[in-house]
Structure 1
Amino acid sequence: MTVGAGETLSTSGRLSHDSAGTFIGTGDFEPQMSTNLGNLDRVLEHFGARRDQIVGTTVLARGLRDHFDTVTPLHAAYCGDHRPTGTVTGVSDPALPDRLVEMGAVVRLDAGH
């Protein structure tokens, strides 16, 4: 879900589904994380926003200790030289059992280069 309030977008529940709604990456953290980031790009595009306008991200990961070394480089590569705030939290029981990672972001449409 994405909600806009003035120049701020808040998006949550970014999951690893393709554009047809098919779940990607059952049991495999890296494709789920990569698909989530791609889905965030589609949200940004829809609202005419860019990655450098992301001011904060939240990553909820099942088995975080096992997947932290995957989250960090993928997130860093996605953001490039831009560094939004970020929270990575481990969860034990996500709402949907096959999901290993869920993301959210706050975007300021009036920010960036």
Structure 2
Amino acid sequence: MTTPDVFNHNVPAESDFGYAQAIKSGDLVHVSGQFSLDGTGDFLHADDFVAQLKQTYANFDKVLDHYGATRNQIISQTLYVVNLRENARATSEGNRAYFGDHRPVSTVVGVAELTFPGQVVETSFIIDTKLTA
């Protein structure tokens, strides 16, 4: 039996809620919903969609670094967005800025609310570590 390669940001929510940020299974890395947290687990940028999305992607970059992966190895993302109609343009702009010319499959889901008051975006990913970076 193989021990999974697990990544955590080492923030309280991981033990409080009982989850891992990411787990590698074979060549795939499944990443839990990332959102706007600082290094101690404090939620940042309440109600500021653009700032939250930037911080969310910055946190995801830490996951990529752990697995030695690049954005070009992301094969799938799911975005959860509060007030999707209001935030649709910023979602598209932030996504294009983060991925550049790379085009993973993507699903955007409008939701009524997320975990923290003022949280307006969360995104999860799947990475294929065998893809050419």
Structure 2 gaps of 5+ residues are: 1-20
Question: 2: CA distance between counterparts of 1:95 and 1:18?
Answer: 15
Q: Are residue 48 (structure 1) and residue 48 (structure 2) matched?
A: no
Aligned length, in residue pairs = 113
Question: 1: CA distance between counterparts of 2:89 and 2:65?
Answer: 28
Q: How far 1:93 moved relative to its partner?
A: 2.4
* SS in structure 2 at match of 1:11: strand
* TM-score, reference length from structure 1: 0.94
User: Identity over aligned residues, as a percent?
Assistant: 33
Corresponding letter in the other structure for 1:73: E
Question: 1: CA distance between counterparts of 2:89 and 2:108?
Answer: 12
Alignment RMSD (CA, Å) = 1.1
* TM-score, reference length from structure 2: 0.81
Q: Name 1:65's counterpart in structure 2.
A: 85
Moved over 3 A (4+): none
Structure 1 gaps of 5+ residues are: none
Q: Please say which structure displays the higher CA radius of gyration.
A: 2
Q: Name 1:9's counterpart in structure 2.
A: 29
Q: How far 1:21 moved relative to its partner?
A: 1.9
Q: Are residue 101 (structure 1) and residue 121 (structure 2) matched?
A: yes
Which fold has the larger relative contact order, with Cα–Cα distance below 8 Å and residues 6 or more apart in sequence? 1
